Structure 1
């Protein structure tokens, strides 16, 4: 793999952290995209880590050129700033497979944990395929489209590739859609910006979920990075809330945690979709939802960046249907009906 960063200190740190894993070989580093271009041609790395903010050419511009000329898995490395978060989401939309915040000077003993996270993201990236964002988006669901009368809450879970997949689903849904709760594996530094990005491209109102709030029709609630999101019943209404208890399946938010809470408190009044992602988080929760009478859907393999999570759900028999991404919105609202 190739590490691209304008800071010599960061290039050395990233290389040292990655080289701990015997399965990862850092074949080179580059101080800017122009040097990187030459080294990519000469070294043929399988994965890149790419700095967002660099001189001469920024990471987003370089990524656009790379995805057009030589698509390959890229993990974006971003500073913890509002600008860095926004550009990182632009990079994910342009084809990067994952993102991670830059390590901070005050990490201290946390550097070991950061290294584990970085290595996991690089290993995952190596098992993904670069996919063009020119693929057909979800068809917008007309406001008069078929609705299942007992659909009260929709739950969506995703990981690698999920920021784009969830945007595609939400942008196709009308403003009067039942409340949606979302667990996407994303660093805490980027989840608020992700919620805002979804809000800009959706007819629904999309918010960063808080400790306790009612679920309202026409609203979607995104789990903050570093917090689980659960749904519960209070009187006659459903609410959602966040917590920072232990990670599940190595994740916080965990899709299993969200799905299992929806299965327990909403049951047959729910619809759920498990989208692209590495690993198996959400598969067990989707099975719990199906057993509770909810409608369950898994994204199909051809339209997934990684068919890990949805594939695990299919293997468990948790998904009533398997469908391409551009049919997810319609199937959720119609609980399987496509019209």
Structure 2
């Protein structure tokens, strides 16, 4: 296979040096150019077009959002956003995701060189995933996420597996959605298609701290249902979707006749916190046959084991089909492990949620 060709666009000389060095040292990746702003990038694009662009969003002369929109209109290309972990950075990054970016890599304001060196594996993995993205799905809507690099724990570090048929059937249903790369775009499409009255929904979207609150607020403004970042002991009720906060695990539990959520710290699971496997296992234990589990676009295998546990507990289980995924990794793994009853296109998921 030919090398993945990458362009780095960032006004920080340190970021350009470190990112270009990390990517250039990775097998199968070639850095075509590392430039200080979008106007210089446009000049270099006339000479050679990369497979992936790593882009800062706050730059002089031309901001990253304007440049991104220009790229997506002229020649759609996978773009990884390099963003700071601030509220302002989160809002700007969500604009970039809405304009068609694939993924987020976060950078701190201080200790940048050390941070980027330590996060090298994450950066390389994110660029590789972006290179495999289904560019046809990169419409100017929204997108997501990153792949934190950490020990690959299982959900056992958070909670024990469910017993067989953990719950008897009731009239109250719970929908559990898990997604990663490409997921913000996919979630926007699914949630905005739902009527005001629909089953309660719990969601894990792989996304950094500070970004999930801004993402939930954005979705809440676009949807008929209520969408918000989950808080400890929030009730799961019809017409409400709760999104796991970045950096925390989300668990469903039964409290009397009600479903509520736990928002907890704990080790990363499948290199993620929040983890889809943790959410799905908790839904298998607390809702069982009363649940629907849906695994959507994303790289890696987080959620594959948990969806199999949900199916074993009597839940309905679905996977987003390959054609509509930005990255088919997570659904593909769930199918391989036997956790998926059937696949459905993205535009069909809302209808499945509304089935009795």
TM-score relative to the length of structure 2: 0.86
Assess if the C-alpha contact under 8 Å between 1:101 and 1:189 holds in 2.
Answer: no
Q: Secondary structure at the match of 2:17?
A: helix
Equivalent position to 2:304, from 269, 279, 283: 283
Q: Mind listing any 5+ residue stretches in structure 1 that lack a counterpart? A: 137-147
Cα distance in 2 for residues equivalent to 1:237 and 1:62: 48
Cα distance in 2 for residues equivalent to 1:46 and 1:133: 14
In structure 2, the partner of 1:93 is 98
2:185 pairs with 1:164: yes
Equivalent position to 1:124, from 129, 136, 144: 129
Say how many residue pairs are matched: 325
In structure 1, the partner of 2:3 is none
Q: Runs of 4+ in structure 1 displaced over 3 angstroms?
A: 106-113, 132-136, 148-151
1:50-129, aligned counterparts within 5 Å?
50-106=55-111, 110-129=115-134
Shift of 1:10: 2.0
Shift of 1:3: 0.6
Assess if the C-alpha contact under 8 Å between 1:272 and 1:332 holds in 2.
Answer: no
Structure 1 residues 171 and 149, CA gap change in structure 2 (3 angstroms): farther
Structure 1 residues 253 and 329, CA gap change in structure 2 (3 angstroms): same
Deviations 1:50-71 (A, max 9, x none): 1111122111111111111111
Shift of 1:222: 0.6
Shift of 1:156: 0.3
1:1-339, aligned counterparts within 5 Å?
1-106=6-111, 110-132=115-137, 150-334=171-355
Q: Mind listing any 5+ residue stretches in structure 2 that lack a counterpart? A: 1-5, 142-168
Cα distance in 1 for residues equivalent to 2:301 and 2:252: 21
Cα distance in 1 for residues equivalent to 2:181 and 2:69: 19
Deviations 1:96-142 (A, max 9, x none): 11012223314686544322222221121122132355599xxxxxx
Q: Secondary structure at the match of 2:270?
A: coil
TM-score relative to the length of structure 1: 0.90
Q: Secondary structure at the match of 1:188?
A: coil
Structure 1 residues 109 and 31, CA gap change in structure 2 (3 angstroms): closer
Shift of 1:237: 1.5
Deviations 1:6-36 (A, max 9, x none): 1222211222333342333222111111111
Q: Secondary structure at the match of 2:85?
A: coil
The root-mean-square deviation of aligned C-alpha atoms, in Å, is: 2.2
Q: Secondary structure at the match of 2:259?
A: strand
Deviations 1:142-164 (A, max 9, x none): xxxxxx98451110000000001
In structure 1, the partner of 2:154 is none
Cα distance in 2 for residues equivalent to 1:92 and 1:50: 12
Cα distance in 2 for residues equivalent to 1:86 and 1:111: 22
Cα distance in 2 for residues equivalent to 1:38 and 1:212: 53
